Structure 1
Amino acid sequence: MNHLTSDQTIRISKATLMLLISFFGFLMLFSNFTDYPTNYEYIAHILSMDTTREGEKYSYRAITSPMAHHRIYWLIITLEVLFTAFCMTGTYQLFKNINTSAKKFHEAKKYALIGLLIAVFIYYVCFQVVGVEWFNMDESQQWNYKDWARHIVDFIMPLMIYVAIRIER
């Protein structure tokens, strides 16, 4: 009878958690492509700063061009495609190398880590840092991604550490 070891369980858990974040990325892309107007509206309001409490005080920061809104939104979508593609490739590599040597399994993590790093850039840097600190997104009652983005980062950061750490033998 085949017994599951702790090492195998750790490897399986890393690959499975990457599968889950890849699924999240896929759903994000599906939403962005099938419901472009709704998500675009969020981005346009955030960039325009038209619903922040102190909109006039910081209006010099606002981007009000619809063309710029579309381009920035497509940049976000492109980054989400990259994040998802790297995470899916990383998931595949982890599952493919689940029974290989520790060195080979560790090397298989690179695509997963690149994907997670892109996700940190999107959801932490773009939404939490730029969205909140520059565009005062947190001051809008209706058009605010701050908490949503924080929840994603709260999952991605520990996942990135867990995947990167070399604890399997």
Structure 2
Amino acid sequence: MKTTPHLFAQRLSKALLALSIGLFGLMVASGNLLDYDSNWQFVRHVLSMDTMQPWFHGDALRGRAIHSEAIQRLAYAAIIAGELAVGLLCAAGGAMLLLALRPTGRIWLPRGKACFTLGATLAILVWHTGFAVIGGEYFAMWANQFNGQFSAYAFTGIALLALIYVNQPESSADE
């Protein structure tokens, strides 16, 4: 079956989007490693709940705070590992989707989509479950001076939309 310009454009678009999500994950992970202390302060303060806004009087929620530096550092390492895995999986998926553009590359299309699906799902788990749910709600990050909820929701939305788009079947019809 001959690849139409429309089909080629769809596949190229999906590959580039997957690579972009992968690049984001890799940039965030590398930023956390290269500027470890700045980002460590964010995680430490959210988990210890020691920089809450003056108007926050949630004493019942403050009991959730984690003051153990070892556990805080373990949580930070898990975040960095998750971000790195997102970057690697999505970038690998994007690279495979690029390979699928070749006339002999059909085998790479389902592999690339599968790899990207794992990476994008992990992205949703890291930023939605990790930052929005656990950080935002369990540790009341919404009331903390260190509040990353908006960024977490924004990236979660992008990852979810990309996950849906990349997994849509391609149409070879030029509409």
TM-score (norm 1): 0.91
The Cα offsets for residues 34-78 of structure 1, whole Å up to 9 and x where unpaired, read as 100010110011111112313523122111111111110001111
| Correspondent of 2:80 among 60, 77, 82 | 77
Question: Match of 1:122, as an amino acid?
Answer: V
Kindly indicate whether the alpha-carbon contact (under 8 Å) linking 1:49 and 1:55 is maintained by their aligned counterparts in 2. no
Where do residues 51-66 of structure 1 align in structure 2 (5 Å cutoff)? 51-52=51-52, 53-66=56-69
Partners of 1:107 and 1:28 in 2: how far apart?
25
| Correspondent of 1:167 among 150, 162, 170 | 170
| Percent identity of paired positions between Structure 1 and Structure 2 | 28
Where do residues 1-169 of structure 1 align in structure 2 (5 Å cutoff)? 5-52=5-52, 53-100=56-103, 105-140=109-144, 142-169=145-172
Kindly indicate whether the alpha-carbon contact (under 8 Å) linking 2:100 and 2:107 is maintained by their aligned counterparts in 1. no
Question: Match of 1:50, as an amino acid?
Answer: D
* Displacement of 1:163: 0.6
Kindly indicate whether the alpha-carbon contact (under 8 Å) linking 1:102 and 1:168 is maintained by their aligned counterparts in 2. no
For this pair of structures, how many residues does the alignment match? 166
The Cα offsets for residues 3-41 of structure 1, whole Å up to 9 and x where unpaired, read as 961111000000011111111112112211110001011
Question: Match of 2:87, as an amino acid?
Answer: T
Partners of 1:72 and 1:108 in 2: how far apart?
30
Kindly indicate whether the alpha-carbon contact (under 8 Å) linking 2:93 and 2:111 is maintained by their aligned counterparts in 1. no
Partners of 1:60 and 1:167 in 2: how far apart?
51
* Displacement of 1:87: 0.9
Instruction: Single out whichever of 53-62 and 30-39 deviates more from structure 2.
Output: 53-62
* Displacement of 1:85: 1.1
* Displacement of 1:81: 1.4
Partners of 2:108 and 2:15 in 1: how far apart?
14
Partners of 2:12 and 2:136 in 1: how far apart?
36
The Cα offsets for residues 54-109 of structure 1, whole Å up to 9 and x where unpaired, read as 35231221111111111100011111111111111101111011235767523431
Secondary structure of the 2:59 match is coil
TM-score (norm 2): 0.88
Partners of 2:39 and 2:112 in 1: how far apart?
34
Partners of 1:156 and 1:96 in 2: how far apart?
22
Secondary structure of the 1:61 match is coil
Instruction: Give the unaligned 5+ runs of structure 2.
Output: none
The Cα offsets for residues 106-134 of structure 1, whole Å up to 9 and x where unpaired, read as 34311111010110000000101111110
